[in-house]
Amino acid sequence: MRINQHVTASNIADPIQEMGETVSETNPTPTVFVVDDDPSMRKSLGRLLRSAGFAEESFGSAEEFLNSYDPQRPGCLILDVCMEEMTGLQLQAKLNEQGIFLPIIVISGFGEVENVVTAVKGGAIDFLEKPFDDDLLMTRVRQALEVDQHRRVEAERAEHIKSLINTLTPREKQVMELLVQGRRTKQIAYDLHISPKTADIHRAHVLEKMQADTVVDLVRLVHDLSD
């Protein structure tokens, strides 16, 4: 069963280009993490991933992965379902609970419908039944890495917008909220009981601090943050 969540390069392009550049410059090389309690499968997957040019790290248990993974590290996860102590699906649920949305490709020797549904609802990129096609797995890995890059760019951009908002004074934040609501300068002045000239000054400060050329750009920034 395959889930089409392919994010193309055009999807990843960010409206604020420098934000995407910052992420690519500061983040380390993406890593494909493999969690499988079968040593031979880990060895086989490691060889396959390295031959395709991917950096990879393997773990023999879900607990081992949880204890060592740093959420700041970009990449994706190839996760076996049937493992002792903590299963792959339990690990997926644990990561979701912790707000770690590392793209996951689930693999299993048994494609029970219940497991497939659980994996899909948990956000898995795909559920592949062993033995799987190597080329298909590599395609899913590339898609998963693109998804992860996209998420990290969006998260970085959101933090950037928040940092800009934090430079505004309380009054400027009020003006920004009214601007985003579509209020004109005279209406803002009336709502805040200030002169139109003062409202216009605040408007100019808001646009400057938010690095927005126009009110339309400002609305787009605030809208993107709310998304």
Question: Model confidence over 202-212: pLDDT tens digits?
Answer: 999 999 999 99
Residue 8 is predicted with a pLDDT of 32
Judge whether residue 3 has pLDDT over 70.
no
Distance CA 190, CA 185 (A): 9
Average pLDDT over residues 129-157: 94
The Cα diameter of the chain in Å comes to 75
The model's pTM is: 0.74
Instruction: Please state, in angstroms and rounded to a whole number, the distance separating the CA atoms of residues 204 and 215.
Output: 10
pLDDT by residue (tens digit) across 96-136? 999 999 999 999 987 778 888 899 898 999 999 988 999 99
Residue 85's pLDDT band (cuts 50, 70, 90): confident
56: enclosing H helix or E strand: strand 55-59
**What's the token pair of residue 94?**
């644990």
Give yes or no for residue 15 having a pLDDT over 90.
Answer: no
What's the N-to-C CA distance of the chain in angstroms? 30
What is the overall mean pLDDT for the chain? 88
Q: What domains are defined for the chain?
A: 9-156 (3.40.50.2300), 167-226 (1.10.10.10)
Over residues 80-97, the mean pLDDT reads 93
Determine contact, residues 86/61, Cβ cutoff 8 Å: yes
Q: Can you give the pLDDT at residue 113?
A: 82
Q: Beta strand pairing status for 126-129 and 104-108?
A: parallel
Region of poorest pLDDT, from 8-12, 34-38, 81-85, 138-142: 8-12
